[in-house]
Amino acid sequence: MNTPILNTISEPADLKKLSLEQLTQLATGMASARNLEGKNGNVMAVIDDGSLSGGLALEGLNIASTLKSNLIILVNDNGMAIAENHGGLYEGLKKLRETNGQSSHNIFKAMGLDYRYVENGNDLETMLKTFKEIKDVDHPIVLHVHTEKGHGYEPAVDHKEAFHWHVPFDLATGKTLHPVTGETYTDVIHEQLEKEFTAGTPITAITAAIPGTYDLKRFGKKHPKNYFDVGIAEQESITLAAGQAKMGLRPIAFESGTFLQRAYDQLSHDLGINKLPVTIMVSGGSISAGDPTHQGIFDLAMLSNIPGLTYLAPTTKEELQAMMHYALHQNNGPVAIRVPSNGVHSAPLADFDAHRMNVLHAGQKVAILGVGSLLPLAEEVQQQLDVDATVIDPRDVSKLDEKTLIDLKKNHQLVVTLEEASLSGGFGEKISRFYGNTKMRTLNFGAAKRFNDHETTAELWHEFKLTPEQIVTEIKANL
């Protein structure tokens, strides 16, 4: 039977994109199914060295060696994850690169897998020759390929971490076309970190290979003993934080909302059940399109429904810092903070209580609750209505402030919620459920429960009726 050189599963036509950590696991499933069905053909997984730090990759490699049939695992080793690699595993990979694959420190052979090393992985002729040689191999084999991250584009070679993902830039120079100016929420976070450190709060900063998202190397340079990058291993980042909290430290796990689902069991089992005071900063909570694997709309439903975990949504830099301080000095359990996705807003902070809604303007008939980065939208809607609507900053999106919600029933007939997150399982559903057996009507605005792909962000906001004009129209229709 004639078979192609390889049937790569890194991005098969009938599957959506998978994280690199999952590909070895998927490959073992496809190879075992091929064997049971009596079919032929090559199954190949392509995984990056940075992804080897995740448990999923090691689980797949562990099972791969038991298959005793064709399975090719290409490990693309460029010495980098998103940022530089961290952990003892990478000393072994380094020795393999330095010895042209001859080092005895070989994790792949130790797991029972055949092994082959290719030094010049950026050379097309070398790779094609190698693929032809291992085509139709009758047992699992790891093809360890040394490449250069950013190869062929000098700015990406010189700035590997920055060019892992990049906003639009000038191709000739590599310079960002629209650089961010002024204060950012990252600056606000670092200001509070230094305040806490100076005050003697025993904080640590933990990240899972995304230091650039929060500019954490800024903290790491000042306080290297208190900074931990665990590589692409969100599970480890949460349970490492749990262990530190158990021993009296005040760890802060800096996470991306689109990757944090990998640590759901740790969030629930290690933090929620044990009520450990870990602070979790969550970035990327926004409605966007372009890649179904990078969606920032599911964190709110996930985190706000874990028992014992408090999820806070600040609307200003003052609230963000107050919530960080609260989280680092309370002992009730884990606290996650959803970093606003919009530009920095500032407003005086009076009578702060993380669990009490902040009524910014008391009106009547209509109450508009704007979660986090959508509070400015709530204020804009209020200005366009022909009624004096109430505007509220909910703050805590995991536990309802029932007193404030009950008070609204006195002179309001409609409560509107705005959230930059999936409506399914989100904050708006909690509000609607609370008022379910009363005369109060509710309107919930947010994202549909789906993986967005090709739409633009502007198209999604319009589809979800998150423009001021659309919201005003819906409110008037429901009064």
Neighbours of 431 (CB within 10 A): 23
pLDDT of residue 12: 42
What string of DSSP letters covers 422-435? ESTTSHHHHHHHHT
The interaxial angle of helices 375-384 and 468-478, nearest 10 deg, is 60
pLDDT of residue 320: 98
Query: Which architecture characterizes domain 7-146 according to CATH?
Result: 3-Layer(aba) Sandwich (3.40)
Q: What is the mean pLDDT of residues 347-374?
A: 95
pLDDT of residue 19: 53
Q: How many Å apart are CA 202 and CA 269, to the nearest integer?
A: 24
Q: What is the DSSP letter of 352?
A: -
Domain layout of the chain by residue ranges: 7-146, 185-338, 358-478
Contact 472, 385 (CB under 8 A): yes
At 11, the pLDDT band (50, 70, 90 cuts) reads very low
pLDDT digits (tens, 9 = 90+) for 122-173: 999 999 999 999 999 999 999 999 999 889 888 888 888 788 877 788 888 8
Neighbours of 26 (CB within 10 A): 18
Domains 185-338 and 358-478 fall in the same CATH topology: yes
Which residues touch 175 (CB under 8 Å, ≥6 apart)? 169
The interaxial angle of helices 55-64 and 20-36, nearest 10 deg, is 30
pLDDT digits (tens, 9 = 90+) for 386-414: 999 999 999 999 999 999 999 999 999 99
Q: How many Å apart are CA 253 and CA 240, to the nearest integer?
A: 9
pLDDT digits (tens, 9 = 90+) for 162-211: 888 777 888 888 888 888 778 999 999 999 999 999 999 999 999 999 99
Q: Taking the CA atoms of the chain, what radius of gyration do you get in angstroms?
A: 25
Burial code (b: 16+ CB inside 10 Å, e: under 16) for 303-312 equals: bbebebbbbb
Q: Is 230 exposed, middle or buried (0-12, 13-18, 19+ CB in 10 A)?
A: buried
The interaxial angle of helices 185-198 and 317-329, nearest 10 deg, is 40
CA angle 459, 463, 464 (to 5 degrees): 120
Q: How many Å apart are CA 205 and CA 444, to the nearest integer?
A: 36
Contact 10, 46 (CB under 8 A): yes
Q: How many Å apart are CA 44 and CA 30, to the nearest integer?
A: 10
Q: What is the DSSP letter of 393?
A: E
pLDDT digits (tens, 9 = 90+) for 246-301: 999 999 999 999 999 999 999 999 999 999 999 999 999 999 876 788 888 999 99
Residue located via tokens 């009524």: 359
CATH class of the domain comprising 358-478: alpha beta
185-338 CATH? 3.40.50.970
Q: What is the mean pLDDT of residues 39-54?
A: 89
